Amino acid sequence: MDYGLGQTIGLSVLQVALVLLLSPLLEGVIRKLIAFVHSRIGPPLFQPYLDILKLLGKEEIASSRSFLFRYSAVIALTAVLTASLLVPMLGRPPLGFAGEVIVFVYLISVVAVMIFMSGVSSGSPYGLVGAGREVMMVLTVEPVLAIALITAAVKSGSMMFGDMVSWQLTHPPSISMVIVGVALFLAIVAQVARLPFDIVEADQEIMAGPFVEQSGPKLALFKWGFYAKQLIFASLLVSVFIPWPHVGKLAVDALITLAKVVVLLVLVGVVHAVNPRLRIDQSIQFFGLLIFASAAGLAFALVGS
């Protein structure tokens, strides 16, 4: 599939702007939902925007002069936004090329690496513990993500998200896609640092871990990156694994996708609200089992069901 250069750039700018502007609102929706489960009124829907604005206007206090400490937030947000260009949010990804799935997984790993670096370079023992936890999480969560996407690739016979979506649209749901879809959902809960997998930050244990020394604009970028990640992962799951109904009109499809994303994030919020935090070893055990489960899904895909 080839688009003109102008169309590609236009769609890219539109999608990045959409991710940046919309993701704090979805965070606000999740916060409202959690507040509802807590029997609280909760913060205003637009509070995440205000949080980001406030942090952007604050003075930077750095505990370390290390390059990685200073730029990890920027690199992480850039990686998230670049990854967003590969996700078919508005019907098709702005940057579509063969093998984009692999690039997507790598870009998401960059975020994890930056969180790790931020923790290691912060010079705080809490940061170090958090960085260690981040590595353990990544090593167990990313295989689930990768296997889920490989399964979709095997089913559709293509390494492109756009092909996966069109394949899903023309085929009925299959066992393998359901299994890896559920596994991917749980991996997403971990990826966006929601309970019960909010282990890397764990405020009550290690005081936000890798982010303990981050402040001001850098913290704002990290937070924004997390909000964006939430939106990207949710729209990836709904567009690749639950693409129906598909109308064919860009605006209508975008609205339908948005509705599905909201529903999915509400689910994430519910999981967050009804669970305490797991310990890192329990989480590793859980995702170890999940890797096996999603591998079983992949095996189903390979034998064709």
Please report whether residue 273 would count as binding other proteins according to CB under 8 A.
yes
Among 86, 148, 180, 206, binds other proteins (CB under 8 A): 206
Only one of the segments 50-58, 196-204, 211-219, 257-265 lies at the binding site for other proteins (rule: CB under 8 A); that segment is 196-204
Please report whether residue 275 would count as binding other proteins according to CB under 8 A.
yes
Helices 280-303 + 175-191 axis angle, to 10: 150
Q: By C-beta, is 58 or 279 nearer to other proteins?
A: 279
Q: By C-beta, is 159 or 189 nearer to other proteins?
A: 189
CB of 10 to other proteins, least distance (A): 43
Site mask for other proteins (CB under 8 A), range 280-299, x = bound: xxx-----------------
Range 7-46, binding other proteins (CB under 8 A): 34, 37-40
Long-range (24+ apart) CB contacts under 8 A made by 283-287 are 283/136, 283/137, 283/140, 283/190, 283/196, 283/197, 283/199, 284/136, 284/140, 287/140, 287/141, 287/143, 287/144, 287/186, 287/187, 287/190
CB of 133 to other proteins, least distance (A): 9
| Residue 152 to residue 158: CA distance in whole angstroms | 8
Q: Are 254 and 19 in contact (CB under 8 A)?
A: no
Please report whether residue 170 would count as binding other proteins according to CB under 8 A.
no
Q: By C-beta, is 48 or 88 nearer to other proteins?
A: 48
Q: Are 56 and 217 in contact (CB under 8 A)?
A: yes
CB of 185 to other proteins, least distance (A): 16
Please report whether residue 195 would count as binding other proteins according to CB under 8 A.
yes
Q: By C-beta, is 129 or 184 nearer to other proteins?
A: 129
Cis peptide before 217 (omega within 30 of 0): no
**Residue 67: partners with Cβ closer than 8 Å, 6 or more residues away:** none
CA of residue 144 relative to chain centroid, distance: 13
Rule CB under 8 A: which residues touch other proteins? 34, 37-40, 129, 195-196, 198-199, 202-206, 273-282
